[in-house]
Amino acid sequence: MIEKESDNVENKDENISEEEILSENTSVMEDQNNEDKDFSEEDNLKINSEDLKNTLSNNDARLEQLEKEHETLKSQYVRIAADFDNFRKRQSRDQDDLKIQLVSKALTAILPIVDNFERARQQLKPESEEAQTLHRSYQGLYKQLVEVLKQQGVAPMRVVGQQFDPNLHEAVLREPSEEFNEDIITEELQRGYHLEGKVLRHALVKVSIGFSQQNSQEPEEKDKVIEDIDSENTISEDN
């Protein structure tokens, strides 16, 4: 009986020791697992941190690339918009120039008719009632023609007393004048016209060469002629 009890005591001790060993092993395994878990969490954090850094770096690079592409597209858009605006303005200018050329060609063909009307108006001096009636009818037609030209933007030049300008005037004669200085227009031979600020037809004019330049030379030339005659007479007397 005593042996059985001792055996039981020994078995209990063995069981206790085995339980302690198991508990120690379990605690060691738990500690190891906890350490492994801690290491794995740290590794995961490091990996996640590196992935995040790589992702941010890639995003920054992508953002920079997109900004460059945006600037390139923006500059292309601005250039294309400017080119289109210049093209539109050039087309509008060309259309205006073409319109003016066509109108100028038609109006230039009408101007000689206006000249004839003005010459007739200066020459006609109606005396009878019938002639006066005809003259009034003629004047009415002339005014209508002038009004049509005015509506088309045609304006006559006023040249007498103005400085000669080869861009506006064509000098037919140059003559001395006591009234006007040199290069001043003294007479209009054919009227010039503007169209929308541009020359439709140059004015034919007389231009002054001044007064003192020619007249001051005449006495000198006369004196020289007299001196030559006197010298010739002197030579003949000596002979």
Domain of 192: which CATH number?
A: 2.30.22.10
Which residues partner with 206 through β-bridges? 173, 187
Task: Tell me what pLDDT residue 165 has.
Answer: 93
d(Cα 118, Cα 141) in Å, to the nearest integer? Answer: 12
Domain count, the chain: 1
b/e 56-89 (16+ beta carbons within 10 angstroms → b): eeeeeeeeeeeeeeeeeeeeeeeeeeeeeeeeee
What are the structure tokens assigned to 239, written together? 């002979």
Domain assignment of residue 136, yes or no: no
Report the pLDDT value the prediction gives residue 214, as an integer from 0 to 100: 46
Residue 222 lies in a domain: yes
Residue 133 maps to a domain: no
Mean pLDDT, the chain, rounded, equals 76
pTM listed for this prediction:
0.53
What six digits make up the tokens of 126? 């109606």
Does residue 170 lie within any of the structural domains? Answer: yes
189 and 159 Cβ atoms separated by less than 8 Å: no
User: Does residue 14 belong to any structural domain of this protein?
Assistant: no
Asked, for residue 95, whether it belongs to a domain, the answer is no
Other CB atoms closer than 10 Å to residue 159's CB: what's the count?
Answer: 22
Three-state secondary structure call for residue 165: coil
Residues in the chain: 239
What is the residue whose two structure tokens read 């037609």? 141
In a domain, 89, yes or no: no
- Three-state secondary-structure class, residue 183: coil
Question: Whole-angstrom Cα distance, residue 171 to residue 74?
Answer: 57
* CA–CA dist 97, 222 (Å, integer): 58
* Residues 155-182 pLDDT 10s: 999 999 999 999 999 999 998 988 888 9
Task: Point out the residues of the chain with pLDDT beneath 70.
Answer: 1-47, 212-239
Domain ranges, residue 163 = 154-239
Does residue 7 lie in a domain region? Answer: no
Q: Which amino acid is at 204?
A: L
Q: What is the pLDDT of residue 4?
A: 47
Residue pointed to by tokens 């109606």: 126
Residue 131: both structure tokens together: 């002639």
Question: Residue 149: which of 103, 183, 180, 199 has the closest Cα?
Answer: 103
Give 207: exposed, middle or buried? Use CB within 10 Å, 0-12, 13-18, 19+.
Answer: buried
